Structure 1
Amino acid sequence: MIEARGLSKHYGERAAVTDLTFTVQPGVVTGFLGPNGAGKSTTMRMLLGLDRPSAGTALINGVSYTDLQAPLCEVGALLEARAIHTGRSARNHLLAMATTNGIPARRVDEVLDIVGLTDVARKRAGGFSLGMGQRLGIANALLGDPHTLLLDEPVNGLDPEGILWIRTLLRQLAAEGRAVFVSSHLMSEMALMATHLVVIGQGRLIAETTVEELVSAAADEHVLVRTEDVPRLRARLTGPGITLTSDAPDELVVQGLTSRDIGAAAAELGVILTELTPQKASLEEAFMKLTADSVEYDARGVA
């Protein structure tokens, strides 16, 4: 389990993180979201003991990372996949990490197989593509078979097959009872990968919730209706709290009624519907709405 309790970090007069409190439970993938400059990387660095908090505590399994007896075997981290000795082969890089942490050499070959780098294990890491380097960084995080994982942008540089692979892997690791904390700017992928979310903006907690709850709470649902008899249906679908909009002559976007209500009204009128589709907002739409006041770098209105 990962716990941030009143976590703050100041760089001079600038507050990067302010009074941040959240929990990452084992058994689920928890997504870490926020606009650029929100403080995500700073928070992860404090959790891993790389930055000292100005206030508050960062705990992993109840203790500070610096007090863990075997850090690599308890916490796997990916903050910068390319932070490797470029002259070493992938296998030698992992072997050096394993040797200095008391991890059996056989584990090196196991993680190389898990991340799909067995065939290039003896090639120099400096010649790896971005995606291959990312896989090596993930292998390094898995090396100690840790119960807790912190991954910053793990899908960066991966192709579609690689993105599917990391999504499946992280969900599998969580299903094994591990705590998985992962940041990403790819909202569509986070919606498929994560169950819980921690959302921050300008260094402060905005929401700690589930993907489903965030989408439901932050976005309006509507129903897309298509018919050749829009005027008659429009006249029937009136009332308090109902909003009707249209972008085409044969289309209505209805808010405030369910598809069942609309279908019943159309049947009463004898109106034939060619489409009746409930539309749920995406995680991206919910995230943009939730963090609209916390965006540090906003390009809207720039020519």
Structure 2
Amino acid sequence: MIEARALTKRYGDTLAVDDLSFTVKPGQVTGFLGPNGAGKSTTMRMIVGLDRPTAGTVTVAGLPYRKHSAPLCQVGTLLDAKGVHRGRSAHSHLLALAQTHGIPRRRVDEVLDTVGLAGVAHRRAGGFSLGMGQRLGVATALLGDPAVVILDEPVNGLDPDGVLWVRTLLKDLAAQGRTVLVSSHLMSEMAVTAEHLVIIGRGRLLADTTVADLIARVAVGSVLVRSPNATQLAELLVARGAEVTGVDPGLFQVAGLTAEAVGDLALAGGVAVHELTPRRASLEEAYMELTREAVEYR
């Protein structure tokens, strides 16, 4: 479990993280979201002791990261896929890290196989593509078989097969009871991967909620309507102040009225309706609505 309490970080006059509190629980994938400059990377760095908080605390499994005697076995991180000596092979990079914690050599081979790099294990990391570098970063995070996994933009540079692999991996790690915190700007991916969301903007907490609850907050205000008398029904709806947009013959979208109101109006007008589908907001729409006033760079 990760627990942040009143976490604050200043860089001179810049307040990067502002009184931030949240908890990341085991057994689920938690998405860590926010606009560019929101403070996500700074927060992740404070979790693993790379930046010292100006105020507040953050613990992993009840202790600050630096207090763990074998941190790689407690927390696995991917914060910068380029943080590898370019002259070292993938195998040498992982082996050097493993030897700092007494992790057996066979574990290096295991994680390289897990991330699909077994065939290039002895190639220099400097020659890796962006996607291969991301896979090596994930292997580094998994090396100590940690209870907590923190990944910053893990699908960056991956092809569709790689994205699916990361998605499956994250879900498997959570299903094993691990704590999984992952940041991403791909809302479509978070929608199918994360169960819980921590969203920040300008360093402050905007939401700590489930994906379903966040989406439910947003009233999209449109209804898909199918009717054999579409023209007649559309005229009735426009007369009531609705905005009607044609989609296909006999099918249109209504904004400004609920599905119940559309159905009642159709009944009163004697117009048959074959479909009334309230449109559910996407995670992207819900996220954009929530962070609208917190965007740092427009």
TM exceeding 0.5:
yes
Asked if the contact 1:7–1:55 (Cα under 8 Å) also holds between the matched residues in 2, the reply is: yes
SS in 2 for 1:247: strand
Structure 1 residue 162 displacement after superposition: 0.3
Matches within 5 A, 1:17-56: 17-56=17-56
1:203/1:117 Cα in 2 relative to 1: closer, same or farther (>3 Å)?
same
Deviations 1:212-243 (A, max 9, x none): 0001113425321134523432466699xx87
Cα root mean square deviation, aligned: 2.3
Q: Matched residue of 1:289: which SS?
A: helix
Q: Which residue of 1 aligns with 2:94?
A: 94
Q: Which residue of 1 aligns with 2:3?
A: 3
> Is 2:244 the counterpart of 1:246?
yes
TM normalised by structure 2 equals 0.92
What letter corresponds to residue 135 of structure 1 in structure 2? R
Aligned 8 A contact 1:149 1:179 in 2: yes
- Which moved further from structure 2: 159-168 or 261-270? 261-270
Deviation per residue, 1:109-160 (Å, 9 max, x gap):
1101110111111111111100000000000000000000111000100000
The alpha carbon displacement at 1:278 in A equals 3.5
Unaligned residue ranges in structure 1 (runs of 5+)? 299-303
SS in 2 for 1:77: strand
Supply the distance in 1 between the matched residues of 2:241 and 2:45 (Cα, whole angstroms).
46
Q: Give me the identity figure in percent.
A: 60
Scaled by the length of structure 1, what TM-score is found?
Answer: 0.91
How many equivalent pairs are there? 295
Could you say which residue in structure 2 is the equivalent of 1:301?
A: none
Aligned pair in 2 of structure 1 residues 105, 20: CA closer, same or farther (>3 Å)?
same
The 1:2/1:229 distance shift into structure 2, 3 A limit, reads same
Q: How far does residue 262 in structure 1 lie from its aligned partner after superposition?
A: 3.2
Instruction: Judge conservation of contact 1:95–1:105 (CA < 8 Å) in 2.
Output: yes
SS in structure 2 opposite 1:87? coil
Q: What is the aligned partner in structure 2 of residue 159 from structure 1?
A: 159
**Helix, strand or coil: the match of 2:242?**
strand
Q: Report the Cα distance in structure 1 between the residues aligned to 2:50 and 2:219, rounded to whole angstroms.
A: 37
Which runs of structure 2 are paired with 1:1-303 in the superposition (5 Å)?
1-220=1-220, 222-227=222-227, 229-234=229-234, 244-248=242-246, 250=250, 251-254=252-255, 256-258=257-259, 262=263, 265=266, 269-271=270-272, 273=274, 276-298=276-298
- Code of the residue aligned with 2:263 in structure 1: it is I
